[in-house]
Amino acid sequence: MKGCLKLKYLDRIQRLSELIKTTGKVLALSGAGISTESGIPDFRSKDTGLWNQYEPQKVASIQALKKDPKSFYDLNFKWWNVCLRAKPNQAHVALAQLEEMGWLLGTITQNIDGLHQQAGSQRVWEVHGHLRGCSCLNCKDDYDLEQLFQNYYCPHCGGLLRPHVVLFGDTMSVDYFMAEKVMSGCQLLLVIGSSLQVQPVASLPYLSRQIVIINKEPTAWDNHATLVFHESASKVLWDLVSIMKKQTGPYYTE
Ligand code: NAD
């Protein structure tokens, strides 16, 4: 049966551990749901998602930024401050440990919060950008994010500064195209905390031979998944790592 939702939780964890051990190239794809346990709201959770309150095109598009920079930054600074103050949770730490043990090649993330790197992940593709910098829409000069928080007009030419975040209406980031490349030959993709509704990222699972879904709510990909967990990401990944730690990593076989 696809998804194996009828199997008991611990049996599914055990199966996931075996799947990872016996599969060649394993990658993770994370979404906003992996960071909710760090206090950052996601977009599409039934009651708490940000898109229940706001319209994406009005608050997170390049058109919105150009039309009304003050409203755009008043709202986004609040959200970014939440991201910048957040700390990694057990799900981020578990992924970093899976990578360190050699079971996971790396993590493709839609998140801009930088929590995978803070947790120790070394190979991270930030397909929707990050909160480490900004650049001028006019002269293209780059600055760190501090400059944007102080004054969102360029100190060099007076042009409007924009964050290094992929906004609705932008072209995709270099990291996205690198992620597509790294997905080539992927045997197993762990999709964690993503509703898989935002394209083109929502199509990345097509590039993997098998997928496993770890998401509190059902997704459109559940029927195509080898295993499905409708539990919290931190619980599932922490339990998984606890089991994997008891076994020898692939690079340390005797
Ligand atoms: P989404 O809001 O569409 O989906 C999140 C999913 O995670 C939901 O289906 C929800 O049920 C699930 N979820 C929530 N908490 C969970 C938990 N603790 N454990 C397991 N599952 C949980 O998010 P998405 O798919 O990443 O949407 C893409 C967009 O969200 C991207 O554009 C991304 O840039 C943006 N985003 C990023 C952040 C961040 O950087 N932390 C926060 C909000 C939104």
Strands (E), the chain: 26-30, 106-109, 124-126, 129-136, 142-144, 161-165, 188-192, 210-214, 227-229
Burial 213-231 (b: 16+ CB within 10 A, else e): bbbeeebebbeebbbbbee
Q: How far is the CA of 139 from the centre of ligand 1 (A)?
A: 33
Closest CA to 198 of 42, 9, 35, 10: 42
Q: Probe ligand 1: pick from 9, 38, 42, max atoms within 8 Å of CB?
A: 42
**Looking at residue 110, what is its pLDDT?**
97
**Looking at residue 1, what is its pLDDT?**
47
Which tokens is 93 given? 């730490």
Mean pLDDT for the stretch of residues 12-36 = 96
**Spatial distance between the Cα atoms of 127 and 166, rounded to a whole number of angstroms:** 8
Domains of the chain from N-terminus onward: 9-39+89-128+172-244 (3.40.50.1220)
Mean pLDDT for the stretch of residues 145-161 = 97
Lowest-confidence range among 50-59, 63-72, 218-227? 50-59
Q: Tell me the torsion sign for CA atoms 33, 39, 40, 44.
A: positive
**Looking at residue 252, what is its pLDDT?**
41
pLDDT tens, 75-123?
999 999 999 999 999 999 999 999 999 999 999 999 999 999 999 999 9
pTM: 0.93
Q: How far is the CA of 63 from the centre of ligand 1 (A)?
A: 23
Q: Which residues pair with 162 in a beta bridge?
A: 135
**Looking at residue 169, what is its pLDDT?**
94
pLDDT tens, 163-215?
999 999 999 999 999 999 999 999 999 999 999 998 999 999 999 999 999 99
Would residue 224 show up in a list of annotated catalytic residues for this protein? no
Residue 251 clears pLDDT 60, i.e. is over it? no
Q: Quick one: CA torsion of 72, 73, 77, 83, rounded to 10 degrees?
A: 50
User: At 102, phi and psi to the nearest 5?
Assistant: 90, 5
Residue nearest to atom 13 of ligand 1 (CA): 33
Is any ligand 1 atom within 6 A of the Cβ of residue 90?
A: no
Residue 42 clears pLDDT 70, i.e. is over it? yes
Q: How far is the CA of 33 from the centre of ligand 1 (A)?
A: 4
**Looking at residue 59, what is its pLDDT?**
86
String of DSSP letters for 116-178? HHHHT-S-EEETTEEEEEEEETTT--EEEHHHHHH-SB-TTT-PBEEEEE--BTSPPPHHHHH
For the chain, give the mean pLDDT: 92
- Closest ligand 1 atom to the C-alpha of 202? 25
Is any ligand 1 atom within 6 A of the Cβ of residue 49?
A: yes
Is any ligand 1 atom within 6 A of the Cβ of residue 91?
A: no
**Looking at residue 202, what is its pLDDT?**
95
Kindly give, in sequence order, each residue whose CB lies less than 8 Å from that of residue 106, ignoring residues fewer than 6 positions away.
Answer: 27, 28, 99, 121, 122, 123, 124, 125, 182
HSE at residue 90, side-chain half, CA atoms within 13 A, is 11
Residue 51 clears pLDDT 90, i.e. is over it? no
